[in-house]
Amino acid sequence: MSLRIDRITLTHVRIPLVEPFRISNGEVTKKDGIVVAVASDGLVGYGESSPMAGSFYSTDTPESCWAQLTTNLAPRAIGRDFPTLEDACVWLDGLPGGNFAKVGIETALWDLEAQRRRLPLHKLLGGELERVASGLAVGLYDTMDALLGAIERYLPHGYQRLKIKISPGQDVDLVTAVRERFGEIPLMTDANAAYTLQHLDVFRKLDEYNLLMYEQPLGRAMLGESAMLQQVVRTPVCLDESLETLADVERAAALRSFRVANIKIQRVGGFRNALRVYETCRRLGLSIWIGTMPELGIGQAQGAALASLPGCDFPTDVEASARWFVDDIIEPWIEVQGGWIEMPKAPGIGYRVDPEKLSRYRIANQEIA
């Protein structure tokens, strides 16, 4: 049965965070997300365009994605009839525009297809697990006590690994303190591209702490330098911001720039591209895990569904809704129980998008038909 796009409703929402989300190059206190509702033949599929506010993480912002969706992507999609979901994704991928904008429509189409086939989303993607392991991520804090206190608040929820953010001048001391307080918990660092090869001594010292990986230690385009780093440290290098396209993955793999891939649905522009990256990494023998921005509930549910695929070797960054947000737009909220997120059994993403919450936190709304 063909897939026809009848109507697209866009809702820009903004929800306060429980605490500021701070990384090496910026901070946000509220979460912006653009909810994309695609109507087709009596069904509605939901996606989320969820770039970080500001331009410190990527050139895509909530404002730029809103402009692309309302003026180009959604209007061009209305009334189109595609033979298959694959055809729709290929067409959308070929349009001008950023991945963070396109992903809202693309993932909504996957939700629609899962509903049409009466499959949970994770099954449509090829997932095999009925629950996925969740890992705790904590940002940068003003003091060591604040960092350790945040970890102590959330670890009792059973998260199966810990990720801490680092930046130059806040690195070895943080890892040392975490190891002293929490012992041999599975631990990794995330630098968000803050370092250069001038900081090799930092990573040589961190090699002594039995870490799972160094996530994105160097700049996005520094693939050759990342290969040099991986040659001189034992800890696996994980790439995140560097892996925006399949071509990026193939080039980085050829250079041996990394041993672990963090796949983010938002960054690569949707499920089709994420699956292509996943399949390439599996073929090349690279480790994989699924990251988040973090997104609101729709995007988080999508990330958890992707993490159910075989070969995702480390816990996902998808956490409980209550970990980051004072409220969420889905019912029920995503929960982590004993370190696990259960896969929904209902067709599609398996969560109900709450229209009252969309209205409460709405910044802008537009229907395109």
| DSSP per residue, 203-272 | HHHHGGG--S-EES-B-TT-HHHHHHHHHH-SSPEEESTT-SSHHHHHHHHHHT--SEEEE-HHHHTSHH
In a shared domain, residues 129 and 113: no
Mean pLDDT of the chain: 96
Same domain, 218 and 358: no
User: Does 88 share its domain with 198?
Assistant: no
Q: For residues 70 and 85, state if they share a domain.
A: yes
If you count them, how many residues does the chain have?
369
pLDDT for 56 equals 62
Characterise 344 by phi-psi region: left (phi > 0), alpha (psi -120 to 50), beta (else): beta
The pLDDT, as a whole number, for residue 94 is: 97
- pLDDT score, position 55: 66
108 and 155 assigned to the same domain: no
Domain containing residue 150: 124-352
- Give pLDDT, residue 359: 98
Together in a domain, 51 and 26: yes
What does the pLDDT read at residue 133?
Answer: 98
Write the CB contacts of 285 (distance below 8 Å, at least 6 apart in sequence): none
> Which residues are catalytic, by number?
165, 264
CATH number at residue 208: 3.20.20.120
pTM: 0.96
Same structural domain for residues 114 and 255? no
**Whole-number pLDDT of residue 30:** 94
Residues 130 and 53 in one domain: no
User: What total number of domains does the chain contain?
Assistant: 2
160/323 Cα distance (integer angstroms): 15
Nearest C-alpha neighbor of 160 from the set 336, 310, 21: 336
Same domain, 151 and 289: yes
Q: Do the beta carbons of residue 29 and residue 325 sit within 8 Å? A: no
Give the domain CATH number at 91.
3.30.390.10
**pLDDT in the model for residue 116:** 97
43: buried, middle or exposed (CB in 10 Å: 19+, 13-18, 0-12)? middle
166 and 61 co-located in one domain: no
> Low-confidence residues of the chain, pLDDT below 70?
55-57
- Same domain (yes/no): 42, 107: yes
Q: For residues 331 and 357, state if they share a domain.
A: no
